[in-house]
Amino acid sequence: MYLEHFGLSELPFGITPDTSYTVITRSHQEALNTLLVALGSGEGFIKITGEVGTGKTLLCRRLLRALPDGAVSAYLPNPYLAPRTLLLALAEEIGVNVGPEIDDYHLLQRVNRALLDYAANGQAVVVCIDEAQAMPLETLESLRLLSNLETEKRKLLQIVLFGQPELDRKLAEPSVRQLQQRIAFHYRLSGLARDEVGNYLSHRLRVAGHRGDSPFGGQAVRCLHRASRGTPRLLNILAHKALLAVYGEGRHQVRGSHVRRAAADTEGASAPGWW
């Protein structure tokens, strides 16, 4: 690979979410601020939506790390579950030991008792559900009923839904309209602005061990922004392919032609233009 050629210790443009590579963009910071304010005010439901590759999972991990000490968190990465299975997964995440033979009534009672104990200790319980657009409608409705668990002063459970724009269409279904009405805070993630792309690329290169001038000049940055539309995952794929092309030529500087070739070889990329 091109690691030694560019003085890197690891690949800088992987597509697996890694908080050590986090770049604080305006959109992500606004989303995180919205989440922290909403959780601090005790809202039961919060929704974050964004296109594929805009960093929803990374934002979820940042949120989990930013929760106050003592908070109890649950992370459900695959919510395509039946209502009972979702409740069993939640029970496991918050430390409730139940057997598979338990009936639905006693399962809910166990979860409610655990939530009351956490509330008595002053501990907030936050559930983050990734890929929420995949949840069946009946599971979404069961989630709403679960959010009814509360004391006279506060919700026992706060739920953050992370999903693609299809989640909005699902929540518009008449059968789950009550859930939509309970979402007091929501935020739509956007891609990186053009003036953020250069900093994004340089930061990831530095974390991966690169020193010296960035191999991405102004023309390459403009081409990458246009081809990726600011979507971080797509930007990573294009930057990786562009570096491979430069390495194959024995060069050290990415040009617009390298980005154009990378875009032509990448599903979902836009034409980067001809500067």
Percentages of the chain per state (helix, strand, coil), in multiples of 5: 50, 10, 40
Q: What is the pLDDT of residue 152?
A: 63
What is the CATH number for 145?
Answer: 3.40.50.300
Domain total of the chain: 2
The residue ranges of DSSP E strands in the chain, in sequence order, are 45-49, 72-76, 125-129, 158-163, 183-188
DSSP helix/strand/coil, 45? strand
End-to-end alpha-carbon separation of the chain, Å?
28
Residue where one domain finishes, among candidates 188, 215, 235: 188
Q: What is the pLDDT of residue 273?
A: 62
Q: What is the pLDDT of residue 145?
A: 84
CA distance 22 to 14: 12
Q: What is the pLDDT of residue 155?
A: 83
Angle between helices 256-264 and 218-228 in degrees, nearest 10: 20
221 and 110 in a single domain? The answer is no
Residues 6+ apart with CB under 8 A from 187: 30, 31, 34, 35, 47, 48, 49
DSSP helix/strand/coil, 156? coil
208 and 100 in a single domain? The answer is no
- 63 — phi, psi (to 5°)? -65, -45
Confirm if 177 and 205 have CB atoms less than 8 A apart. no
Q: What is the pLDDT of residue 275?
A: 45
68 and 124 in a single domain? The answer is yes
What range defines the domain where residue 238 resides?
3-9+194-264
Nearest Cα neighbor of 220 from 208, 209, 205, 207 is 205
The answer to the question of residue 94 being in a domain is: yes
Q: What is the pLDDT of residue 243?
A: 95
How would you write the pLDDT of the chain (275 residues) with one tens digit per residue? 789 999 999 999 988 888 788 888 899 999 999 999 999 888 889 999 999 989 899 899 999 999 988 899 999 998 999 999 999 999 999 999 888 789 989 999 999 999 999 999 989 999 999 999 999 999 998 888 888 877 666 788 999 999 999 999 999 999 888 898 889 899 999 999 999 999 999 999 999 999 989 999 999 999 999 999 999 999 999 999 999 999 999 999 999 999 999 999 998 888 776 54
